[in-house]
Amino acid sequence: MKPLVAIVGRPNVGKSTLFNRLVGRRIALVEDQPGVTRDRHYADAEWEGRAFTLIDTGGFVPGEKDTLLKQVREQAQFAVEECDVIIFVVDARAGMTTADEAVANYLRKAGKPVVVAANKLDNESGQMQSLAGEFFRLGLGDVNAMSAEHNLGMGGLMDSVVSKL
């Protein structure tokens, strides 16, 4: 079986956009409405000759009691439990939120290798890239500035992912 890489993070940060970018096809539904990806989506992907299976999740709404959002979270937790490496996506334009911090706390406890993807940095200006720096204080190591939509920073992100496989 190929190693599993799970994409997690709060809703609307760009997880499905990243998944589609890495898989090279539009499988996951990208939506402005949070919580669209209710189930887990799996697809085979490859980076520099390393094959792996990618899992898109519906997002992680910590502490949410609503039945649907609770199910979405449970699916994400299941993906974290079964995966080998986690890509933790945050919205670097929106900045740090309490939901990001709660997801980070959960991931720390899960004890799996984590790569932080600071998404929505749509151009390579220093001003924009510096927005990624805030997420260092999550204490999860390197923060990869990237834009799933504009295909920026994918090399650094994925080199980091495959180095942990």
Amino acid at 44: D
Strands ordered across the beta sheet of 114-119: 41-47, 50-56, 4-8, 85-91, 114-119, 143-145
Say whether 112 counts as a known binding-site residue: no
Q: Which residue is nearest to ligand GDP (CB)?
A: 14
- Return the number of the residue (134 or 149) whose C-beta is nearest ligand GDP: 149
Say whether 14 counts as a known binding-site residue: yes
| CA distance to 4, 10, 11, 46, 87, per residue, from 34 (Å) | 24, 9, 5, 27, 18
Find the part of the chain contacting ligand GDP (CB under 6 A) among 12-20, 46-54, 100-108, 131-139: 12-20
Q: Report if residue 31 touches ligand GDP, rule: CB under 6 A.
A: yes
Q: Report if residue 149 touches ligand GDP, rule: CB under 6 A.
A: yes
Count Cα neighbours of 107 within 13 Å in the Cβ-side half-sphere.
29
Say whether 109 counts as a known binding-site residue: no
Site string for ligand GDP, 99-138 (x = CB under 6 A): --------------------xx-x----------------
What does the alpha-carbon distance between residue 56 and residue 43 come to, in Å, rounded to a whole number? 9
Could you count the other beta carbons within 10 Å of the beta carbon of residue 33? 8
Q: Which residues bind ligand GDP (CB under 6 A)?
A: 9, 11-17, 30-32, 34, 37, 59, 119-120, 122, 147-150
Q: Residue ranges for the binding site?
A: 9-16, 56-60, 119-122
